[in-house]
A and B are shown apart, each in its own frame.
Chain A
Amino acid sequence: MSTPAAVEFTNVSRRFGPVVAVDSISFRVEPGTLVTLLGPSGCGKTTTLRMIAGLEMPSDGAIRIGERDVTRVSAAERDVSMVFQSYALFPHMNVLENVGYGLAVSPMTAAQRDEKARAFLRKVGLEGYEKRQIGALSGGQQQRVALARALVLEPQVLLFDEPLSNLDAKLRRRMRDEIRDLQRELGITAVYVTHDQEEAMAVSDKIVVMKDGHIAQMGTPDELYEAPVDRFVADFIGGANLIDCEIAGVEGDTARVAVGGTTLSQPARGLRSGPATLAIRYAAVRLQAGGAGALTGTVRKATYLGSHREFTIDSPIGELFVIEPDLSNSLTVGAPVAITFRDRGLALVAR
């Protein structure tokens, strides 16, 4: 079994003719952790992942896996395996043959290979399916076969390209937990690509948020949520009302922020006096019926969703989208409300 290895990108770019799919990115994945590449479609996640696999060669920069510089090493010679979005199972082989495929080039005997493949099929809960044809499996089962096929090689790094996008919502939730559990159990280094922010938060040790081929921010899920570096990350991770504000002054680490006639104190996070943006999480807005205060608004839209309520509020600082966990707070459309903010869930970012 190979020991989990770090993955390190140093100023890596990939161009396709005039298109710059990945633009000089650097990051490091610590051994044994799961790091997610997250970003909107077309931001270069898949290309980055494929460069780790060796299916795409960087135009510039260097890639290291563990101690080894693999920048120009072909896919077959890297100790990496990948779970594809389409699963890419071989239709002319049965389940066991699929799982044992990668072992065929190892020095094991056929019996040892079979045994190992069976062991990993057991791990993904597919015992008894060894002789099934691929076409006779459900989507979820195919996903598990693909997972077992990648895991059985006990690679230094395991890659996932949107592995859950072909499954229905319920199965998606279960599979992502299973993937995370297996990854922890085996202590494997994993890089996971998704465009689904919630999925990323659920499985990752760290998230790399990408935009237009750049890294927008890298950090743990709560770092990204609590301290987004810019409007894009604030909006993409967890969603936020992005409200224009003015930093009236900065004392130490604390900024005085003027927004719509009220003044708040917020961590300055390196920003200076002048115009800025306040990212207000949906759940960080508190609404009080009919109340008066420094900031008031009217309810434009109210939706009851069983577990919570959602409101859209017209206010002097702009439109606010609000999630209200307190179901008893039943505001009706047109009702005037007083708006205040909770202590957590606000962050200052550059305009």
Chain B
Amino acid sequence: MSRAARWWLAVGWAAMLLLPWYALEDGLFSFVWLRDPWGEDAAPLIVQVLRHGRIWLAPLLLAFAVPLLFAFVLPPEGEARRRRAAIILMLCGALGLVWLFGQGFAIGARGLSWGWAKDLYGDFEGRQFGLGYGGMIVAVALLFLLTEGWARRGALRGDAFVLGSIGIVVATTILFVFLPVGLVLVGAARVEDGWSLLAVAKRVTSSDIWSLGCFVGATCGTFWKTLLLAVVVGALSTALGTAFALLAVRMGFRWQGALRLFALLPIITPPFVVGLAIILLVGRTGALTVLMDDWFGIPPTRWIYGFPGMALAQTLSFTPIAFLIMIGVVQGISPTMEEAALTLRASPARLFRTITLPLMRPGLANAFLVGVLESISDLGNPVILAGNYDVLSVQIYFALVGAQVDGGRAAGLAIVLLGLALAVFVLQAFWLGDRSYTTVAGKGDTGTHAPLPPAVRHAVYWTALPWIGITIAVYATIAFGGFVTNVGRDHSFTLSHFVDLFSIESGAGGLAWTGGAWKSLGTTLETALIAAPLTALLGLLIAYVLSRQVFAGKGAFEFITMLSFAIPGTVIGLSYIVAFNTPPVELTGTMAILVICFIFRDMPVGIRAGVAALSQIDRSLDESSLTLRHGGFATVRRVILPLIRPAIVAALVFGLVRAMTSLSAVIFLATARHNLSTTYIVAQIETARFGTAIAYSAALIAIMAALILAIQWLVGERRLGRRALQT
């Protein structure tokens, strides 16, 4: 038996003998449980079986006992027996896992969970709670016994590390993506006294989702409104992103640095902050609105609340993403092709229409679909700007936290939203995915681009420059709005918003963090700093597996790992409440659920960065390490990781930033005890405390910028020059 297998056996036994099997009220590290370590709440598995009559846990002991038998009593000699031992190990791991989760779902806090089981075993008395550290660690140990045994049988070149990685990724993705989303689908079937498929059909096809009433004078359904907004935002942001890309690459624009900043700033801006700035500028009491009223007598209205405001805010938020996609596409167009066309006497206009534009078409479609996906997933801007224009994400939100809570309706809406998002994602992944990215390869093409036709140049200037103006106005509002008493009404300088948020008083008992924001900021930083490294780790691990290993089902593996990116945050948030409110995995209200949510939502970014970095490192490097006595893990640590530092930085930064700016999922998961900056700010906006909100937003942006610089400095640049890479 391998060292790793022995180690996991030992870990499993230790957890079963020593650690509390179930989750504890006060957490493991409060050590309150040490007062009564063998009691019903805190006892480890073995005591639960022997003393508390939870006899259904006993088979787990067997799963760890049988491999021991084969390791020490009947040590395997010869190839055949070693293979048999490997199979036994696999079986023990697999059956143990099935049993662990099977019993966990079957027996809950109120006894048997399923009606038919109750009918069968009516007098069953058992009850249990969510898995604690003991249970979780045993689950992990079982998983690795399974993959160890599998590797011993020669799967994946016998590399237990790789197999273990795949195992942990698949298991956690099932647990934290598929299970919750699946339970939402089930949730849509829940009615007062049981389950009904009819209810699903009714909820999913409800007329307030699908109604086409707006063609006959009434209002249309939420689905159509969401789609309309998404299509408009997708088209606008694509057009603007393209204009900026042409400006940056093809028109010798002088302020390249400013363009970069323009592309990067929104990434560290929480999505709803743009919406907030828009309210402060052109809302009913916005600065511009007031000016217009004073100077031209244009009366203030609420036009910004609804479609126009949301379209404006989302276009502002998502144009930079389109820009990043389109700049790759525009750079990827080989000048040679255009030169060839020029020598055939094509005019600039004809050239643009017949060569340049068709070459950009897949990129345009890609940027459009990404914009659509972002728009339908966005919750922050709609929550503060939607007015009477209902979109799906907001409807889900209000179905859960609004005046009348209706979980079934939320689930129905979530299914529709999920379907829409997945349709867009699949379209993007299969129809365009590869094509639009291969053009980004850094080609050594020489030659100069043909000049753009005058009409195109003018169009670019006339869209891009005004838009830059609007962007500047928005960011100026964010930067300075926190320093005035009341934007629009009273522009006298004040620090009171910052004092409210971040005051520290030194009293008798030392420093007192009296500011209102400290608690949420602390939680945000803590969760983000825990989640970011884990996100990067998991993402890069998956990238390693994807780009270096060949195995059956790899395509499906890749697809499911990227899928969580496409699932709208509102759906994830909703599904986490549904799934992790009850045993066996009970996480609601904990910080862990926030961290897990961040990890699985943002991991695809790490995967992309990792795959891109790994594709530049020749496979023979890791293979030679493998033949030099280093296993998969040592190879990753000593060869791969040092060579992909930039990808690590990128993944860390992205993980951090996305955790700190995300709202749509965590708005369901944050609690009074674990409140987050974004949810705190949204609460401020909802109660019209705009000054505090904008001040906090600005502070958050500044903190993120500082953290990014710190990470870059910590992880450092790659230590070798370009030349050194060319072995």
Contacts and interface: CB of A to CB of B under 8 A. Distances in A.
Answer yes or no: are A and B bound together in one complex: yes
Interface of A: 53-57, 69, 71-78, 80-82, 84-92, 101-102, 104-106, 133-136, 142, 149-150, 153, 159
Interface of B: 79, 83, 151-154, 157-160, 618, 620-621, 623-632, 634, 638-639, 642-643, 719-721, 723-727
Given A91-B727, A105-B634, A72 B158 contact: yes
B627 A80 contact: yes
A135 B721 contact: yes
A101 B628 contact: yes
Contacts of A104: 629-630, 638
A88 B618 contact: yes
A75 B627 contact: yes
A87 B628 CA distance: 13
A86 B618 contact: yes
B626 A87 contact: no
A82 to B, nearest CB: 4
Contacts of B620: 84-86, 88
B627 A54 contact: yes
Contacts of B721: 135
B243 to A, nearest CB: 40
A92 B630 contact: no
B727 A135 contact: yes
Nearest to A89: B727
Given A55-B157, A75-B157, A105-B629, A133 B151 contact: no
B169 to A, nearest CB: 20
A72 B628 contact: no
Count chain B CB atoms within 10 A of each CB in A69, A75, A78 and give the residue with the most. Answer: A75
A71 B154 contact: yes
Contact of A134 (B151, B152, B724): B724
Contacts of A136: 724
B158 A88 contact: no
Contact of A72 (B152, B623, B638): B152
Given A75-B627, A77-B158, A82-B624, 5 more contacts: A74-B159, A76-B630, A77-B631, A84-B624, A88-B727
B627 A81 contact: yes
Contact of B725 (A76, A77, A81, A91): A91
A105 B724 contact: no
Contact of B724 (A87, A135, A159): A135
A76 B624 CA distance: 10
Contacts of B643: 91-92
Nearest to B642: A92
Contacts of A55: 157, 623, 626-627
Contacts of B626: 54-55, 74-76
B629 A76 contact: yes
A77 B639 CA distance: 18
B631 A90 contact: no
10 contacts: A54-B627, A74-B631, A76-B632, A77-B158, A80-B627, A81-B627, A88-B618, A90-B639, A150-B627, A153-B629
A167 to B, nearest CB: 14
Contact of A149 (B83, B628, B632): B628
B194 to A, nearest CB: 49
Nearest to B159: A74
A74 B152 CA distance: 8
B157 to A, nearest CB: 6
B720 A87 contact: no
B161 to A, nearest CB: 9
Nearest to B79: A69
Given A72-B83, A72-B152, A153-B628, A135 B726 contact: yes
A175 to B, nearest CB: 17
A82 B624 CA distance: 7
Contacts of B629: 76, 102, 104-106, 153
Contacts of A76: 159, 626-627, 629-632, 634
Given A89-B727, A92-B720, A101 B625 contact: yes
A69 B643 CA distance: 35
Nearest to B83: A72
A71 B79 contact: yes
B157 A135 contact: no
A137 B719 CA distance: 18
Contacts of A72: 83, 152-154, 158
A91 B644 CA distance: 12
Nearest to B153: A72
Contacts of A87: 727
Nearest to A80: B627
Contact of A53 (B627, B630, B723, B725): B627
A91 B624 contact: no
B506 to A, nearest CB: 49
Contacts of A78: 627
A153 B621 CA distance: 17
B725 to A, nearest CB: 5
Across chains A and B, which 5 residue pairs bring their CB atoms closest together, nearest first? A72-B154, A74-B158, A135-B724, A102-B628, A88-B624
Nearest to B641: A92
A81 B628 contact: yes
Nearest to A101: B628
Given A81-B628, A135-B726, A135-B727, A88 B621 contact: yes
Contact of B727 (A82, A101, A134, A149): A134
Contacts of B724: 91-92, 133-136
A78 B643 CA distance: 26
Contacts of A106: 629
A7 to B, nearest CB: 14
Contacts of A74: 151, 157-160, 626, 631
Contacts of B160: 74
Contacts of A133: 720, 724
B154 A90 contact: no
A88 B725 CA distance: 11
A105 B625 CA distance: 11
Contacts of A90: 621, 625, 639
Contact of A86 (B153, B157, B625, B727): B727
A72 B151 CA distance: 9
A55 to B, nearest CB: 5
A92 B157 contact: no
A56 B727 contact: no
A99 to B, nearest CB: 10
Contact of B157 (A54, A69, A91, A134): A54
Nearest to A105: B629
A37 B535 CA distance: 45
Nearest to B645: A92
Contacts of B634: 76, 105
Given A76-B626, A105-B630, A91 B158 contact: no
B9 to A, nearest CB: 19
Given A105-B629, A133-B720, A73 B158 contact: yes
A104 B629 CA distance: 9
Count chain B CB atoms within 10 A of each CB in A53, A69, A76, A153 and give the residue with the most. Answer: A76
Contacts of B79: 69, 71
B716 to A, nearest CB: 12
A102 B635 CA distance: 11
Contacts of A88: 618, 620-621, 623-624, 727
A289 to B, nearest CB: 55
Count chain B CB atoms within 10 A of each CB in A92, A104, A135 and give the residue with the most. Answer: A92
Contacts of B628: 81, 101-102, 149-150, 153
A91 B625 contact: no
Count chain A CB atoms within 10 A of each CB in B159, B624, B626 and give the residue with the most. Answer: B624
Given A75-B626, A88-B618, A101-B628, A54 B727 contact: no
Given A82-B624, A90-B639, A92-B642, A142 B727 contact: yes
Nearest to A137: B727
